[in-house]
């Protein structure tokens, strides 16, 4: 490799040609890392505009593990091809899952089953995923923690210190959320355990960022496949100092990568600014959940109009907030159930892979149209839909760990928000990706 480069350089020198002319037209300094554009109005990669044509694929690490560790690399490889065919260039994935593995409704097996103790099979799943993404030209958003319980997350760190997890966000959908939310928030709000919880987590952050990929030998810190390290999935009203200090800590470990907060941005501009103002938070994010926030009712045909109006306003207002901070914005979560209004009263219909997705397709297109319009003006940088289930089906048998790898995390009803390879939604996503791609190439 080295010899060849030298030979080439010599040839070029001898023939009198400027080496920079012969080099690929991107600068060596950028070397494939996704960067924020100098004017703050978007991203670049290799000196070219870069828009996020993304999907959520949180199960990627576990799917990338070998079969003994609950993975399915054969399926992962096929899904990578399908994603690329759809025009996807970015996946938001987990780079953390806390155990122990005997706790209810979480991803199993976990990556870190006890503080500082790793399941190497699962870690190699992350290696495999990143390597596969590199081969397919994709970039990754790496989620380092979770406010919610389905991957362990904040509550598990609190429980490790407490030695007693008393709060779970169930048994029923509406019970236990308040108690759980308070428990989870202790991770960054309880001064008595703050230091211990943060230092336990920071050890994980260091471990992941400094890991050497067992498949391709790259250290994660030096891998341009990684676009961004994300503090957590949906941190709720965390202290400003936590956003500042953690983002600075990560930036120090991985100066070539971006850092993001993972905020839903559902509350208000004050909340948005608290998470996104710190100088080491490179870009802003928002999530939109019309059914969960009770704007949309999948069993009511006309409530789609409410969802459309709400989404228009949401995308524009968050774009405006981001513009005021002069940072890019990505809508990194949004989803909709299948057409339950076709059979009102049959709640389970919305989870069935056979049920059509007319509302969902219209809703996706509405959001995409808004993003494309704003992206043309440098006011939006793309999205990650929630979420890609690919070849999995809600009706599949669970594997030896009790997992079905669709796109709905273990605490949610299988099939609720999954996008399958055969769904008509795929075409809507393809069309949008093609529009963004055309904008990148303009
Ligand atoms: C766990 O916490 C609950 C509620 O505070 C308490 O009732 C219970 O005794 C605790 N269990 C242990 C093993 O400490
Ligand atoms: C955390 O504490 C802050 C005050 O420092 C408070 O505003 C916020 O609501 C708390 N977060 C949660 C989720 O309880
Ligand atoms: C269905 O949604 C529409 C639009 O929001 C609303 O006016 C109507 O009351 C809803 N119907 C039912 C039965 O909830």
The response to whether residue 302 sits with its C-beta less than 6 Å from ligand 3 reads yes
Per-residue pLDDT of the chain (442 residues), as tens digits, is: 333 333 333 333 333 333 333 334 443 445 899 999 999 999 999 999 999 999 999 999 999 999 999 999 999 999 999 999 999 999 999 999 999 999 888 999 999 999 999 999 999 999 999 999 999 999 999 999 999 999 999 999 999 998 877 667 665 555 678 888 889 999 999 999 999 999 999 999 999 999 999 999 999 999 999 999 999 999 999 999 999 999 999 999 999 999 999 999 999 999 999 999 999 999 999 999 999 999 999 999 999 999 999 999 999 999 999 999 999 999 999 999 999 999 988 989 999 999 999 999 999 999 999 999 999 999 999 999 999 999 999 999 999 999 999 999 998 999 999 999 999 999 999 999 999 999 999 8
**Cβ atoms of 116 and 160 closer than 8 Å:** no
The response to whether residue 303 sits with its C-beta less than 6 Å from ligand 3 reads yes
Ligand found nearest the CA of 310? 3
The response to whether residue 301 sits with its C-beta less than 6 Å from ligand 3 reads no
| Residue 243: alpha-carbon gap to chain centroid | 18
CA of 163 to the centre of ligand 1 (A): 9
Ligand found nearest the CA of 155? 2
Strands 258-260, 34-36: pairing is unpaired
CA of 169 to the centre of ligand 2 (A): 18
Where are the domains positioned within the chain? 34-441
Ligand found nearest the CA of 240? 2
The response to whether residue 164 sits with its C-beta less than 6 Å from ligand 1 reads yes
CA distance 209 to 253: 7
34-441: CATH number: 3.20.20.80
What atom in ligand 1 is closest to the CA of residue 164?
1
């Amino acid at each position: 490799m080295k010899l060849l480069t030298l030979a080439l350089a010599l040839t070029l020198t001898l023939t009198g040609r400027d080496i920079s002319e012969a080099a690929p037209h991107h600068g060596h300094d950028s070397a494939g890392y996704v960067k924020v554009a100098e004017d703050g109005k978007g991203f670049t990669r290799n000196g070219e505009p870069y828009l996020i044509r993304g999907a959520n694929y949180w199960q990627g690490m576990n799917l990338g593990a070998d079969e003994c560790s609950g993975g399915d690399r054969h399926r992962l490889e096929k899904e990578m091809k399908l994603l690329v065919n759809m025009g996807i260039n970015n996946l938001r994935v987990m780079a953390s899952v806390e155990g122990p593995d005997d706790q209810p409704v979480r991803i199993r097996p976990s990556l870190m089953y006890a503080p500082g103790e790793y399941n190497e099979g699962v870690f190699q799943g992350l290696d495999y995923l990143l390597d596969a993404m590199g081969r397919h030209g994709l970039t990754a958003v790496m989620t380092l923690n979770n406010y919610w319980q389905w991957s362990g997350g904040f509550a598990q760190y609190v429980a490790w210190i407490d030695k007693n997890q008393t709060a779970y966000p169930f048994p029923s959908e509406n019970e236990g959320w308040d108690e759980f939310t308070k428990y989870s928030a202790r991770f960054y709000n309880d001064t008595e355990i703050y230091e211990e919880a943060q230092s336990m987590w920071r050890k994980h952050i260091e471990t992941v960022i400094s890991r050497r990929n067992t498949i391709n030998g790259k250290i994660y810190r030096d891998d341009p496949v990684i676009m961004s390290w994300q503090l957590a999935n949906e941190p709720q009203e965390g202290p400003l100092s936590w956003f500042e200090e953690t983002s600075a800590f990560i930036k120090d470990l991985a100066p070539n990568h971006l850092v993001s907060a993972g905020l839903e941005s559902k509350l208000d501009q004050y909340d948005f600014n608290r998470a996104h103002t710190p100088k080491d938070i490179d870009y802003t994010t928002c999530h939109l959940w019309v059914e969960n926030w009770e704007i949309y009712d999948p069993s009511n045909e006309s409530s789609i109009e409410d969802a459309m109006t709400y989404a228009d306003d949401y995308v524009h207002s968050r774009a405006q907030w981001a513009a005021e901070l002069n940072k890019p914005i990505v809508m990194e979560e949004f989803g909709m159930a299948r057409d339950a209004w076709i059979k009102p009263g049959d709640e389970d219909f919305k989870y069935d892979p056979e049920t059509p997705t007319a509302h969902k397709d219209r809703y996706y297109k509405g959001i995409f149209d808004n993003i494309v319009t704003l992206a043309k003006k440098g006011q939006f940088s793309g999205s990650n839909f929630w979420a890609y289930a690919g070849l999995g089906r809600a009706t599949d048998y669970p594997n030896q760990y009790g997992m079905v790898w669709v796109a709905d995390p273990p605490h949610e009803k299988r099939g609720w928000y999954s996008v399958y390879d055969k769904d008509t939604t795929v075409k809507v996503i393809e069309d949008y990706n093609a529009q963004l791609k055309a904008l990148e190439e303009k």
